[in-house]
Structure 1
């Protein structure tokens, strides 16, 4: 009976220049760099030292797949490969035009718009935005977030 050897996957070889090593060591010992970046840099430094993925995983107390991922990304893309990839996230519910219209409404005095109020509250602004057809639905808390982005608080001004 013939026996077939299954090839053992080899870890990607990481070779660093002196300047890359200095830069990575500085990041690895940084107290201000984001923690995830420090972990990724330490993986690369261990890999450049010649450690296997399993040994790096043990040394850094990480999962083998994590080590394999970041070692491979560095081998393919260099230092830029250690950054997080952009994520799509949930699409914005309100368009920039709707946000601008809500902000413009908040900047007007209620009396100028025919509303019998001395100041806007976020609830009043939400009702007015729906009444004017700016949007079908909007909550008072969303109004507060939109205005907070522009540092506007119309309910505090007379």
Structure 2
């Protein structure tokens, strides 16, 4: 798995920034570790996550790039109270 310089800069920025959601920072760490050439099992061991989690985010990144690391809409009834309210 390889990253462009721009992708690497964005991922490293997400990991370093204090205001980044922890889930996005974790996903970024997973992708950066995979790009270093580490195996799925090694990445899962190093980061303390399951191998399935590494596989999921690696696959989504390969399919959709950086956009694949954001949360997808969840099923169910839409919210009645918005952020503005």
TM-score class normalised by the smaller sequence: 0.7 to 0.9
In the alignment of these two chains, the number of paired residues is: 82
Matched with 2:74 is 87
Q: Which has the higher helix share?
A: 2
Q: 1:70 aligns with which of 57, 70, 77?
A: 57
Indicate how the Cα distance of structure 1 residues 88 and 26 shifts in structure 2: closer, same or farther if over 3 A, else same: same
Bigger radius of gyration: 1
List 4+ stretches of structure 1 deviating above 6 A.
none
Residues 89-138 of structure 1 deviation map (CA, whole Å, 9 limit, x = unaligned): 2357x8xxxxxxxxxxxxxxxxxxxxxxxxxxxxxxxxxxxxxxxxxxxx
Alpha-carbon distance between aligned partners in 1 of 2:78 and 2:6, rounded to the nearest angstrom: 41
Alpha-carbon distance between aligned partners in 2 of 1:82 and 1:58, rounded to the nearest angstrom: 20
TM-score normalized by structure 2? 0.87
The alignment partner of 2:3 has SS state of: coil
Higher RCO, 1 vs 2 (CA within 8 Å, ≥6 residues apart) = 2
1:9-88 correspondence to structure 2 within 5 Å: 14-88=1-75
Gaps of 5+ in 1: 1-13, 95-144, 150-158
Residues 10-39 of structure 1 deviation map (CA, whole Å, 9 limit, x = unaligned): xxxx21111111111111112100000000
RMSD value, Cα: 1.7
